[in-house]
Amino acid sequence: MTDVDQPLALDHEHALDRNYMTLSRHVLQQLHSFSADAQDLSALMTRIALAGKLIARRLTRAGLVEDALGFTGRTNVQGEAVKKMDIFANQVFISVFEQSGLVCRLASEEMEKPYYIPENCPVGRYTLLYDPIDGSSNVDINLNVGSIFSIRKQEGDDADGTATDLLQDGHKQIAAGYILYGPSTMLVYSIGTGVHAFTLDPSIGEFILANENIQVPTHGPVYSVNEGNFWQWDESIRDYIRYVHRHEGYTARYSGALVGDIHRILFQGGVFLYPGTIKNPEGKLRLLYESAPLAFLIEQAGGNASTGTQAILDVVPDKIHTRTPLVIGSKEDVALVESFIQEHLREQRDKAILTSQS
């Protein structure tokens, strides 16, 4: 071997020694199977990844192209102002699942009713639930946003189009995750075999495995909450916040985009809270598109998610746009918030007993 060959040989080895694990291969590997169900899940994840790439591309050019930034002038089913990127991203998910043969229905926080793809329905056995752009108020200021997704198997033929089979608890999810549009685009998913993160390599257009079997620390320093709502909360939540103010080792982080805040907590530990307020006793976040998928993910990573009094995954919604309070993150930190809530409930019960006796 000549001296000239040597560096070339080394380069070649280095190119191969990082195992470029793609998302679709990873899904099949996780399931140890090439069964029809495994192939379906792999195909579903590949389509979600495609939606993520299309949205990421639009976001990176949002300041340069017409009609990417700002509001549409319309409000959605929850009465919130709709942004142009919300509509674009919502449509991207629909488009990538049309002609997929996999998904019969898509339900998103931007659509009042599920969207049916009739040509898929005879064979498409899955429903995709999603928040196309989570934290969309960040779009116009070029900060991170995300997409959240969840997959459920369709139960029954839903002939009357009421989608009542979606009104079931979060244990019915077979996959969930998010795409984070930050300095790089990351896709984090779980199909019930742990939590795995992929980074988009734009030069080859593939999501490449970055972190496998992520475990959320049992405790972390971060508490992530919109403290502007302090006087809107129940006293128990105010007491928890007073507690973290008075104890060392806590630090506040709040980005205005749930996906970014959860991503930080997944890797570094801590707790995210969106409690009920006087105006919205059930909080802001929607169970089927936000809280339940993230609860599925965080539990797979060894963390916890709760309404404060009930596990998020046990909550049965009464309509598809149901909201719930959310406390999610490291096990110990979620338990601490819950302990403040329990303490207040005990005090209220004791007071009620005393009043009834007097």
Judge residue 46's burial from the number of C-beta atoms within 10 Å of its C-beta, 0-12 exposed, 13-18 middle, 19 or more buried: middle
Q: DSSP of 122-166, one letter per residue?
A: TT--EEEEEEEEETGGGGGGT--EEEEEEEEE--S--TTS--GGG
Q: Does the footprint of Mg ion cover residue 40 (CB under 5 A)?
A: no
Footprint of Mg ion on 129-148 (CB under 5 A) = 131, 134
Q: Give me the least distance between CB of 17 and ligand AHM, in Å please.
A: 39
CB 195, CB 267: distance < 8 Å: no
β-pair partners for 146: 134, 180
Q: Does the footprint of ligand AHM cover residue 135 (CB under 6 A)?
A: yes
Q: Does the footprint of Mg ion cover residue 86 (CB under 5 A)?
A: no
Which residue, 76 or 120, has its beta carbon nearer to ligand AHM?
A: 76
Which residue, 119 or 227, has its beta carbon nearer to ligand AHM?
A: 227
**Near ligand AHM by CB under 6 A, which window of 55-63, 134-142, 205-213, 214-222?**
134-142
284 binds, among ligand AHM, Mg ion, none (CB under 5 to 8 A by kind): ligand AHM
Q: Does the footprint of ligand AHM cover residue 342 (CB under 6 A)?
A: no
CB 107, CB 166: distance < 8 Å: yes
CB 258, CB 273: distance < 8 Å: no
> What tokens were used for 15?
């190119």
Residue 278 CB neighbours (<10 A) = 10
Q: Give me the least distance between CB of 18 and ligand AHM, in Å please.
A: 33
Residue 157 CB neighbours (<10 A) = 10
> What tokens were used for 117?
């793809």
- How far is it, in rounded angstroms, from Cα 82 to Cα 71? 6
- Binding track over 268-307 against ligand AHM, x by CB under 6 A: ----------------x-----------------------
**Near Mg ion by CB under 5 A, which window of 45-53, 112-120, 127-135, 346-354?**
127-135
- How far is it, in rounded angstroms, from Cα 32 to Cα 53? 27
Which residue, 131 or 234, has its beta carbon nearer to Mg ion?
A: 131
Report the amino acid identity of residue 56.
Answer: A
Q: Does the footprint of ligand AHM cover residue 134 (CB under 6 A)?
A: yes
- Binding track over 63-82 against ligand AHM, x by CB under 6 A: -----------------x--
- How far is it, in rounded angstroms, from Cα 176 to Cα 199? 17
Which residue, 26 or 263, has its beta carbon nearer to ligand AHM?
A: 263
Of the candidates 39, 91, 100, 226, which one interacts with ligand AHM according to CB under 6 A? 226
Q: Does the footprint of ligand AHM cover residue 154 (CB under 6 A)?
A: no
- How far is it, in rounded angstroms, from Cα 134 to Cα 112? 17
80 binds, among ligand AHM, Mg ion, none (CB under 5 to 8 A by kind): ligand AHM
- How far is it, in rounded angstroms, from Cα 188 to Cα 199? 9
Residues found near ligand AHM in the complex (CB under 6 A): 80, 131, 134-136, 226, 256-258, 284
Q: Which residues bind Mg ion (CB under 5 A)?
A: 131, 134
